[in-house]
């Protein structure tokens, strides 16, 4: 009892001393930005080179303009949801919120909104499958408005707006709440130009040039950016939507006295989830699952898998080890992705190589130097009838 009392007195004195020395908690940021760039999509035709650069460059500029910046790249759906929640939490006590996204996206005519694709999105996904793995822009701007109802909420989206379905809202204006304005890289139904061979996508390239221009009002910045994009690519038409009841300047400095702003006291928080989410748990049902690797030296990772898969009435349930036998006591090689490996087994390959390897319930994978992905799959060609799941635990 005496010991506890002494501890309590010591803590009180320590806290009082800190207060007398003027140590205060970090001030709540008045300007908050969430910046996301997704480019490492699992299908090679979908992989984008510029979104990571787009996001890093925009985060740096916003940091110089005094924003508390949350910077994320190559996010899964769960990662996008968590980043969104973190952003909305900070926005509760801010006056200005900025959301920026670069990567793949699409629009739904039925729901009349845009969806921003996580790196789990595949080219063969149906509309509903793609929606499940994407962040709804409607969710973003509604949460921003709810968290910052009296402030200014801005969204910048450098992603395609092509339609993935047919519905009654083709080309219909997206209605945003008052005090919220979105600036899209293209008009409804249009793709955006990745601007291959350059550091940034075309929309972001031109937006960057004007973001820090002193004393440039937001609507004028939007007009100037749109004009520059259309001049360089007549098939891409940037598109603003929403309304602000007051003028807004990113850099409200008289032109004659402008100097390069110093970086924000709180530098961008940079997380590349694809390379930091370790250990990872992947759920494999159909298709493939990918684990992202950033390796500067050769090493190994260990994989442990569990669960069951069911393929047809002629094939018994399989664990990650695979089936030894099937109908009439044998399996044909045509049922397997790799005929030399048991049907239904967990297999993997590095995306730098073409050969599949057996993993089973436990395996060690030797890594190569560089950034790449490990693809996990079930050794079964007829995946349409495949049911169940394998839970894959990766320990780095």
Tell me whether residue 108 is in a domain.
yes
Q: Of 274, 291, 315, at which residue does a domain stop? A: 274
- What's the whole-number mean pLDDT along residues 74-102? 92
Ranges 108-122, 160-174, 184-198: which has the least confidence: 160-174
- Of the two residues 6 and 311, the one the predictor is more confident about is 311
Q: Of 220, 239, 274, at which residue does a domain stop? A: 274
Q: Of 274, 289, 322, at which residue does a domain stop? A: 274
| 50 and 191 together in one domain | yes
| 241 and 120 together in one domain | yes
**CB hemisphere CA count around 326 (13 angstroms):** 19
Looking at residue 369, which CATH number applies to its domain?
A: 2.60.120.430
Tell me whether residue 18 is in a domain.
no
pLDDT tens-place string over residues 82-93? 999 999 999 988
| 247 and 343 together in one domain | no
CA terminus-to-terminus distance, the chain: 45
Task: Please say if the pLDDT value at position 172 is more than 60.
Answer: no
Task: Please say if the pLDDT value at position 315 is more than 70.
Answer: no
- pLDDT number for residue 175: 61
- Contact (CB, 8 A) for 276 and 360: no
Looking at residue 129, which CATH number applies to its domain?
A: 3.40.50.1460
| 248 and 314 together in one domain | no
Confidence category of residue 142, pLDDT binned at 50, 70, 90: very high
Task: Please say if the pLDDT value at position 357 is more than 90.
Answer: yes
Task: Please say if the pLDDT value at position 261 is more than 60.
Answer: no
| 269 and 346 together in one domain | no
Average pLDDT of the chain to the nearest whole number:
80
Ranges 36-45, 152-161, 260-269, 280-289: which has the least confidence: 260-269
- What's the whole-number mean pLDDT along residues 108-119? 81
- What's the whole-number mean pLDDT along residues 262-276? 43
| 291 and 348 together in one domain | yes
- pLDDT number for residue 367: 85
- Of the two residues 172 and 323, the one the predictor is more confident about is 323
- pLDDT number for residue 369: 76
d(CA 319, CA 321): 5
- Of the two residues 293 and 65, the one the predictor is more confident about is 65
Joined tokens for residue 295? 């390796």
| 218 and 305 together in one domain | no
d(CA 58, CA 8): 47
Domain of residue 126, residue span: 31-274
Ranges 41-50, 89-98, 276-285: which has the least confidence: 276-285
- pLDDT number for residue 387: 83
Nearest to 36 by CA among 15, 51, 49, 14: 51
d(CA 228, CA 191): 17
| 316 and 259 together in one domain | no
Q: How would you label 218-243 residue by residue, b for 16+ Cβ within 10 Å and e otherwise?
A: beebbebbbebbeeeeeebebbbbbe
Tell me whether residue 188 is in a domain.
yes
| 145 and 260 together in one domain | yes
How long a stretch of residues is the chain? Answer: 396
Q: Show Cβ contacts of residue 309 under 8 Å, excluding neighbours closer than 6 positions.
A: 317, 318, 319, 344, 378, 380, 386, 387, 388, 389, 390
Structural domains in the chain (count) = 2
Confidence category of residue 267, pLDDT binned at 50, 70, 90: very low
Ranges 68-72, 95-99, 260-264, 381-385: which has the least confidence: 260-264
- pLDDT number for residue 147: 92
Task: Please say if the pLDDT value at position 252 is more than 80.
Answer: yes
- pLDDT number for residue 291: 78
Share of the chain above pLDDT 90, in %: 39
- Of the two residues 110 and 327, the one the predictor is more confident about is 110
Confidence category of residue 385, pLDDT binned at 50, 70, 90: confident
Task: Please say if the pLDDT value at position 312 is more than 90.
Answer: no
Tell me whether residue 24 is in a domain.
no
Task: Please give the order of strands across the beta sheet that includes 357-358.
Answer: 288-295, 370-378, 346-350, 357-358
- pLDDT number for residue 391: 86
Share of the chain above pLDDT 70, in %: 76
Q: Show Cβ contacts of residue 283 under 8 Å, excluding neighbours closer than 6 positions.
A: 289, 389, 390, 391, 392
- pLDDT number for residue 171: 46
Q: Which residues is 184 bridged to in the sheet? A: 157, 239
**CB hemisphere CA count around 237 (13 angstroms):** 8
| 249 and 295 together in one domain | no
**Which three-class secondary structure state does DSSP give residue 182?**
strand
Tell me whether residue 270 is in a domain.
yes
| 212 and 237 together in one domain | yes
| 162 and 196 together in one domain | yes
Which residue has tokens 């729901």? 111
């Amino acid at each position: 009892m005496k010991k506890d009392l002494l501890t309590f007195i010591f803590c009180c004195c320590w806290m009082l001393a800190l207060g007398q020395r003027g140590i205060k908690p970090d001030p709540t940021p008045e300007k908050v930005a969430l910046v996301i760039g997704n480019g490492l999509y699992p299908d090679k035709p979908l992989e984008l080179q510029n979104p990571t650069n787009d996001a890093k460059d925009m985060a740096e500029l916003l940091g110089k303009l005094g924003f508390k910046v949350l910077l994320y790249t190559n996010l899964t759906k769960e990662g996008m949801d968590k980043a969104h929640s973190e952003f909305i939490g900070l926005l509760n006590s801010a006056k200005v919120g900025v959301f920026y996204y670069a990567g793949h996206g699409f629009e739904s005519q039925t729901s009349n909104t845009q969806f921003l694709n996580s790196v789990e999105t595949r080219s063969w996904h149906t509309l509903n499958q793609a929606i499940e793995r994407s962040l709804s822009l409607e969710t973003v701007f509604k949460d921003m408005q709810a968290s910052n109802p009296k402030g200014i909420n801005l969204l910048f989206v450098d992603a395609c707006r092509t339609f993935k379905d047919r519905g009654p809202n083709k080309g219909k204006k997206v209605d945003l709440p008052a005090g919220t304005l979105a600036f899209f890289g293209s008009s409804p139904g249009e793709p955006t130009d990745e601007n291959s061979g350059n550091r940034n996508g075309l929309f972001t390239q031109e937006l960057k040039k004007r973001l820090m221009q002193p004393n440039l009002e937001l609507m004028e910045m939007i007009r100037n950016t749109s004009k520059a994009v259309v001049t360089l690519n007549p098939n891409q038409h940037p598109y603003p939507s929403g309304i602000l009841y007051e003028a807004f300047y990113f850099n409200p400095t008289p032109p004659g006295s402008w100097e390069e702003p110093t970086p924000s006291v709180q530098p961008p928080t940079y997380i590349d989830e694809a390379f930091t989410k370790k250990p990872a748990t992947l759920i494999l049902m159909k298709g493939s699952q990918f684990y992202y690797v950033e390796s500067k030296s050769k090493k190994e990772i260990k994989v442990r898998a569990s669960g069951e898969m069911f393929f047809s009435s002629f094939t018994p349930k399989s664990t990650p080890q695979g089936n030894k036998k099937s109908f009439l006591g044998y399996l044909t090689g045509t049922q397997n992705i790799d005929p030399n490996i048991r049907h239904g087994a967990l297999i993997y390959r590095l995306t730098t190589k073409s050969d599949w390897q057996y993993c089973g319930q436990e395996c060690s994978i030797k890594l190569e130097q560089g950034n790449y992905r490990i693809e996990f799959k079930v050794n079964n060609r007829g995946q349409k009838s495949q049911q169940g799941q394998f839970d894959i635990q990766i320990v780095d």
